[in-house]
Amino acid sequence: MMTTAVTESGAAALALDGVTRTYGGGAPALDGVSLAVPRGRFVAVMGPSGSGKSTLLRCAAGLERPTAGTVRIGGTDLATLKASGLTRLRRDRIGFVFQSLNLVSALNVRENVTLPLLLAGARGGPALDARALAGLDAVGLADRADDTPEHLSGGQRQRVAIARALVNEPEVVFADEPTAALDPVTAAGVLALLRRAVDERGRTVVLVTHDPVAAAWTDEAVFLERGRLVGRLDHPDETGVREALGVRAEAGPREARGLRAGAGARDVRGALAGAGRFGAVAR
């Protein structure tokens, strides 16, 4: 059934309205993107390399200001905030999980998890440590609280990053290719943690990914092409996402984990329009 990817934004955890981002005199990296993500929803943002996925994340998270349009987190218009206000919003109301992890090597696991709380003004002590341990227990790493990141595997470090992203109970968690450097089994464990954060804790997660397998963990996949939102897929499965992206099921390992750099030639819009199960996006 054809539906629209632009939903009513009144109760949305994240809302973008006509967001455009240009750099210099080139073509816009984002071109009039409108998207509302309801609270408690897990959404994948997908598309070819250069389609604007990472730019969308940076604008949505207040890391960059759009050239035009508005971004709201829980009703707060980011354009009304000065630099200090944006810093507080990112610190207090947003969680980040990146492929690069960004753990502090000189701190142990527990200290890495408590760092956002300390930066927000929380007092150190038993109560704060207990909160960090509860977060680590949720990701299965309470027994590694006193270890430093260098003693953990890549998957364990990513689980620490998820615990840190969730410790301040953020309104929205932005995850940028969090499984790109992980093997399939470890990646599934990381995605399961993000899924639980949505299902059990009511968090809103926006996942930027090239991977159809990762997108299959989400409630909705939205597709970008040349900076524009061109379609959506509710309750995506791996096969449906591959069809939308034009990625062959028999593709090799590199292609199977994401969209080939040249796949834009297969026009995501055409793939989406070719099947009624894919939703169109209102312009």
132, 113 contact by CB (below 8 A): yes
What's the total number of domains in the chain?
Answer: 1
Alpha-carbon gap, residue 32 to 16, rounded angstroms: 9
* 163-to-43, 171, 173, 273 alpha-carbon distances in Å: 19, 15, 11, 39
Q: pTM score > 0.85 for this model?
A: no
Interhelix angle 126-138/154-166, rounded to 10 degrees, is 130
Alpha-carbon gap, residue 133 to 143, rounded angstroms: 9
Q: Quick check: is 29 in a domain?
A: yes
How crowded is residue 252: how many other Cβ atoms within 10 Å of its Cβ? 8
Task: Work out whether the CA dihedral 237, 240, 243, 248 comes out positive or negative.
Answer: positive
Q: Quick check: is 152 in a domain?
A: no
Q: Quick check: is 160 in a domain?
A: no
Alpha-carbon gap, residue 241 to 218, rounded angstroms: 11
Per the structure, the complete domain to which residue 247 belongs is given by 12-104+170-273
**pLDDT tens for the 283 residues of the chain, in order:** 223 344 444 569 999 999 999 998 788 999 999 999 999 999 999 998 889 999 999 999 999 999 999 999 999 999 999 999 999 999 899 999 887 768 999 999 999 999 988 888 888 788 899 999 999 998 999 999 999 999 999 889 989 999 999 998 999 999 999 888 888 998 899 899 999 999 999 999 999 999 999 999 999 999 999 999 999 999 999 999 998 887 544 444 343 343 333 344 344 444 444 444 445 443 3
Q: Quick check: is 6 in a domain?
A: no
CATH number at residue 199: 3.40.50.300
